[in-house]
């Protein structure tokens, strides 16, 4: 199989793990958020429709080659485990990516990078329709977008984009507090988040709003969750996806933290803020999802309103633990030994974590290790 290349960006949402990644634009046109390191130092640029279509053609050629391999192996064109194994043996990232995607059904595409909706509507529709034409198994196309970019699209344009095949938009709300949004230089107001979110929902496109737990720090420890809940109640997005703040070196927020202009919350304080936000979510039917390893309580999730009591129960169970048990869970979670609170009941795992706590405490490295483990989960 001759080497074939198509362009891909650096990130995708965890929920798009089984999606084909296609790059429509490069990097982030805003790139000023205080907490974000992903595109720091990178320059935003647009790709032409011809370039993008060329990449789609490349994916189609790789698929044809995989089907030929399948036929030769006697599998009638099916991309099964044996064909996937053959793809891995090529050592070619792009062949492996396409084979893995097709092995999982070949149904979902995530278009990159940070804000594909910045494309002209006519060009974006052209690309979406071309993807569906050349890759006929695709029935789901998703993208990141900024709220202000969405507001530049008329309701009719968004509806047209949805009809062309864009099924879901992922928006980084981060916070519903105008004070927090200004501090992190998000470049959008709470009102704009609300209006943009409503437009997406009214256009018939699935909407995921991302919230960063702990982003208000200690100064806005109550305002951040309360105002975020207020904004989400106004939007009623299909999904509310939770992320937990960590402040990596190289970000403006790290510099402000070092200068004393921002005070991080403890993990227990962040969890208390998470509870406050969830408690105030009312009159909406969103699915709350905690699908990132940075979140301490991965099992907090469910459909509103019926799942609220269960979610609050998980948080209350954690917060009611003795301090030593909460510390044990935090280290177990960050070291990968625990995923759920019930994992603490496993004697072998608990003993391993207790030994780690004792060792790191004795060496004076416990807090530093917890911070380092969180930083490596970004």
Q: How many other CB atoms are found less than 10 A from the CB of residue 153?
A: 20
Q: Choose among 188, 101, 176, 110: nearest CA to 151.
A: 188
CB within 8 Å of 302: residues ≥ 6 apart: 287, 288, 308, 310, 311
The residue among 116, 107, 111, 160 whose CA lies nearest residue 135 is: 107
pLDDT value at position 376? 77
Q: How high is the pLDDT of residue 268? A: 97
Q: Mapping DSSP to helix (H, G, I), strand (E, B) and coil, where does residue 138 land? A: coil
H or E segment at 160?
Answer: helix 155-164
Distances (CA, A) of 174 to 100, 161, 211, 288, 375: 32, 25, 4, 14, 18
What is the pLDDT, as a whole number, of residue 2? 59
* 246 neighbors 36 (Cβ within 8 angstroms): no
Cβ neighbour number for residue 235 with a 10 Å cutoff: 24
Whose CA is closest to 242, among 230, 257, 225, 255? 225
Averaged in consecutive runs of 10 residues, what is the pLDDT profile of the chain (378 residues)? 82 93 97 93 95 97 96 94 95 96 97 97 99 98 98 98 98 99 98 99 98 98 99 99 94 96 97 99 98 94 98 98 97 95 97 94 90 79
Q: CA–CA separation, 234 vs 303, rounded Å?
A: 17
**What is the separation, in whole angstroms, between the first and last Cα of the chain?**
35
Query: Collapsing DSSP states into helix, strand and coil, what is residue 17?
Result: coil
Q: What pLDDT sits at residue 163? A: 98
**How does 104-133 read in b/e, with b if 16+ C-beta sit within 10 Å?**
eebbbbbbbbbbbbbbebeebbbbbebbbe
pTM (2 decimals)?
0.94
Question: What six digits make up the tokens of 280?
Answer: 């105030």
Other beta carbons within 10 angstroms of residue 82's beta carbon come to 14
- Structure-token pair, residue 122: 């006519």
């Amino acid at each position: 199989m001759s080497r074939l290349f198509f362009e891909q960006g650096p990130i995708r949402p965890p929920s798009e793990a089984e999606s084909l990644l296609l790059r429509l634009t490069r990097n982030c046109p805003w790139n000023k958020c205080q907490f974000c390191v992903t595109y720091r130092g990178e320059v935003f640029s647009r790709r032409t429709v011809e370039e993008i279509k060329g990449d789609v053609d490349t994916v189609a050629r790789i698929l044809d080659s995989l089907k030929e391999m399948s036929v030769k192996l006697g599998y009638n064109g099916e991309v099964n485990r044996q064909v996937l194994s053959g793809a891995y043996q090529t050592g070619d990232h792009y062949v492996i990516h396409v084979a893995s995607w097709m092995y999982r059904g070949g149904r979902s595409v995530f278009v990159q990078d940070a804000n594909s909706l910045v494309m002209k509507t006519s060009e974006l529709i052209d690309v979406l329709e071309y993807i569906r034409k050349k890759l006929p198994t695709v029935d789901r196309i998703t993208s990141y977008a900024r709220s202000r970019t969405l507001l530049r699209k008329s309701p009719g344009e968004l509806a047209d984009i949805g009809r062309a095949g864009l099924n879901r938009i992922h928006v980084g709300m981060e916070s519903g507090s105008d004070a927090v949004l200004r501090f992190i230089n998000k470049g959008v107001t709470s009102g704009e988040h609300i209006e943009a979110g409503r437009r997406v929902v009214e256009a018939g496109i699935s909407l995921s709003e991302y919230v960063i737990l702990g982003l208000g720090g200690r100064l806005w420890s109550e305002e951040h969750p309360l105002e975020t809940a207020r904004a989400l109640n106004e939007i009623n997005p299909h999904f509310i996806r939770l992320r937990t703040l960590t402040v990596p070196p190289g970000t403006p927020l790290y510099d402000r933290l070092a200068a004393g202009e921002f005070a991080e919350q403890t993990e227990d304080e962040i969890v208390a803020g998470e509870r406050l936000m969830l408690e105030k979510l009312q009159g909406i039917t969103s699915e709350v999802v905690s699908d990132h390893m940075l979140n301490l309580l991965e099992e907090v999730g469910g459909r509103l309103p019926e799942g609220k009591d269960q979610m609050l129960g998980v948080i209350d169970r954690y917060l009611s633990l003795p301090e030593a048990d909460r510390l044990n869970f935090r280290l177990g979670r960050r070291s990968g030994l625990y995923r759920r609170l019930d994992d603490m009941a496993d004697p072998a795992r608990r003993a391993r974590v207790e030994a780690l706590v004792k060792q790191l405490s004795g060496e004076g490295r416990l807090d530093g290790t917890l911070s380092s483990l969180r930083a490596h989960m970004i």
